[in-house]
Amino acid sequence: MIRGRHASKLISVFSLVSLLGVAVAVAALIVVLSVMNGFDRDLKEKILGMKAHVMVSSAEGESLAESDEIEKTLLGYSGVLNVSPYITGQGMVLSRWGAQGVGVFGVNPARHGQVTELDRYVTHGSLKPLEEGAAAEGVPRDAVALGAELSGALGVKVGDQVTFFVPVLTPMPMGLFSKAVKCEVAAVFKSGMYEYDRNLLYTSLASAQKVFNMKQRVTHYALRLQDMDGAEKLSKRIRQDHSGWWAVDWSELNRNLFAALKMERYVMGLILILILLVASFTIIGTFTMLVVEKKREIGMLRAMGASAASLQRVFLWQGSFIGLVGMLLGSSVGLGLCAILTYTDMVVLPGDIYYLSHLPIQVSAWEVGAINALAVAVSMMATFIPAHRAAALDPVEAIRYE
């Protein structure tokens, strides 16, 4: 870089500010997009860990028969790995220390574990008492599994007794009453998603059929697919093939949540790209000042035979240097912050608001490369205007008054 006679220190300061602006923009883009990627991945893992890829129910809102024929029909679709019948409904669970409205799921854990990952989230106890035939082995048939937040709110642990009610009226000698069932807490699970850990109760399929007066019927069939991205297509096909069934996939059930995350991702990316553009304006200002300060030197070079293209290359290389150094510095800071956030509990989230208890991070190599390329490209483009101005200087006019 040709050193000027005046204002060199000021230009150096502006160059440093430009470089730091590029670095901050790159670091911010890497961290924010990695956090957004982490949220998206973590939510999908937790949702699909507790929910099936596709849920099939009656189109009229009635129950379905617990039938091998239905299971064979569903397994006949391409890409379906496992099918599990289950019952879902609303109820209230009561302990000595409190009461809580819950979503009740009646499942056979051995089969439901093939369509979800509920057993992976069990932190205390076991789902064994909820399996078929558990009563014959001396294990209480009416056993339940509670989320960690729910068990804490009720003040119970594995082995304690709870009572849960369902809004199904049962004929009694004294009249119609809602059914209450005393159960033993067999397991406590923690999915990491506050909404599930606070509001879900699992019991055996047989117990749910008894409580909801459904005999040998179920409300849903859960499907696990080889490729979760094919869930939407499969659910549409099932609805077309069977007018009496209604199929819904995991993405449709959580469409608003993922749409909001996608919108936030685009908006945050746009805002941070604007920061990079602000840094580019600083580069334009810096190099414009440089052209003014070095007008005489540029004129002398032109008079000695330097071409306009060679002068433009000088300025483009200067812009590339600022972009490259800023990119390297920003990438180092951004990736370093991502590593710190990944391996430490620096940021703890309130689970009842954000669904998650920690800040998830997922760095995408493709995105980091795109951000770095964008930073260098913007820095180079920012020098086009001052480079063109420098190349267009008339050497006679540049040195006339020097």
Tens digits of residue pLDDT in 386-396: 777 766 665 65
Stretch 274-300: mean pLDDT: 72
Residue 106, token pair as written in the block: 């009646």
φ, ψ for residue 384, nearest 5 deg: -60, -45
Choose the weakest-confidence range: 152-156, 190-194, 381-385: 381-385
Which one of 168-177, 210-219, 296-305 scores highest in mean pLDDT? 210-219
3-state secondary structure of 159: coil
φ, ψ for residue 175, nearest 5 deg: 135, -160
Find tokens 């941070």 and name the residue: 272
Choose the weakest-confidence range: 96-110, 247-261, 310-324, 332-346: 310-324
More confident residue, 355 or 239: 239
pLDDT tens digits along 130-141: 876 544 444 445
Stretch 107-128: mean pLDDT: 89
The CA-CA-CA angle for residues 237, 240, 244, to 5°, reads: 120
pLDDT tens digits along 252-268: 887 887 787 778 778 87
Average pLDDT across the chain, whole number = 80
DSSP letter at 4 equals: P
Residue-level pLDDT at 374: 86
Residue-level pLDDT at 380: 80
Cα-Cα end-to-end distance for the chain: 21
248, with CB counted inside 10 A (0-12, 13-18, 19+), is middle
226, with CB counted inside 10 A (0-12, 13-18, 19+), is exposed
φ, ψ for residue 117, nearest 5 deg: -120, 35
Find tokens 């699909």 and name the residue: 48
CA distance 345 to 160: 33
- By the 8 A CB rule, do 11 and 290 touch? yes
Per-domain boundaries in the chain: 8-46+257-399, 64-218
Stretch 350-370: mean pLDDT: 77
Residue-level pLDDT at 77: 92
The percentage of the chain sitting over the pLDDT mark of 70, rounded to a whole number, equals: 80
CA distance 82 to 69: 14
Answer yes or no: is pLDDT of 359 > 90: no
Answer yes or no: is pLDDT of 54 > 90: yes
Residue-level pLDDT at 4: 43
Residue-level pLDDT at 317: 79
CA distance 19 to 178: 70
More confident residue, 285 or 300: 285
Answer yes or no: is pLDDT of 6 > 50: no
- By the 8 A CB rule, do 50 and 116 touch? yes
The percentage of the chain sitting over the pLDDT mark of 90, rounded to a whole number, equals: 22
More confident residue, 402 or 90: 90
pLDDT tens digits along 292-332: 666 666 666 666 666 766 777 777 777 778 888 888 999 99
More confident residue, 322 or 248: 248
3-state secondary structure of 144: strand
Stretch 116-129: mean pLDDT: 89
Find tokens 């009720």 and name the residue: 154
pTM (two decimals): 0.70
